Amino acid sequence: MALTEIWHVEHVPHPVLPLWIATDADDRLVYVNLGNSRTRMLAWGMRHDVRLVDETNRQTAAKAQLSEYLAGQRFRFELELRPIGTPFQCAVWRTLAHIPRGETWSYAELASAVGRPSAARAVGHANGRNPLPIVLPCHRVIGRDGSLVGFGGGLAAKRWLLDLESPWRGLALFENAVTSAS
């Protein structure tokens, strides 16, 4: 079987949360892989019949904007996206984009916002299949009791992302510095 499409793969280096991203021929972001391992990205590419091509010297808008975001210099993405999923999954992922920076929603709140208030579990499953984490901020979804649950990059990465987006981030960093100096 011939592969039908090529995705360009770039590494977004970061000391806490390195990423691998894939863009299609039109430079639309199709996949964000959290961490140094590309296993999930490779499986995703195989499942969608695409060939992944490493582009070490490529500098797309997606790579630049994700680097700025991880450095705390960008608060909103201006990218063309191409999430690939079922209509229900895509509806969940579109809704993620409406969770304001610095806020969190429970799975039940996300299900209500999608128009399926009794489908929190299905919404959680779709959230876990989000191919564009960070850009479509699935890390902003937490357990009903406020606990951090489920994140492909791990709960430490989820906490780090929420702290990065927190309106009190400056205060927390100051408090950590004072505690460390004591």
CATH number at residue 103: 1.10.10.10
Residue 142 located in a structural domain: yes
Residues 37 and 105 in one domain: no
What 8-state DSSP symbol labels residue 23?
E
Q: Across the 182 residues of the chain, what is the mean pLDDT of every consecutive 10-residue run?
A: 76 89 92 84 84 82 93 90 94 94 92 92 92 94 86 85 77 45 45
- Asked if 90 is an active-site residue, the reply is no
pLDDT score, position 168:
56
pTM, 2 dp: 0.84
Residues 99 and 39 in one domain: no
pLDDT score, position 172:
46
Per the residue annotation, which of 66, 99, 138, 157 is the catalytic one?
138
- Tokens 């700025």 correspond to what residue? 68
| Helix and strand element counts for the chain (H, E) | 7, 6
pLDDT score, position 146:
85
Rounded distance between C-alpha atoms, residue 114 and residue 79, angstroms:
23
Range of the domain at 93: 87-169
Residue 19 located in a structural domain: yes
Residue 20 located in a structural domain: yes
Structure tokens at 10: 């770039």
Residues 103 and 143 in one domain: yes
Residues 53 and 95 in one domain: no
pLDDT score, position 54:
84
pLDDT score, position 153:
80
Beta-strand relationship, 19-23 and 29-34:
antiparallel
pLDDT score, position 137:
94
pLDDT score, position 87:
95
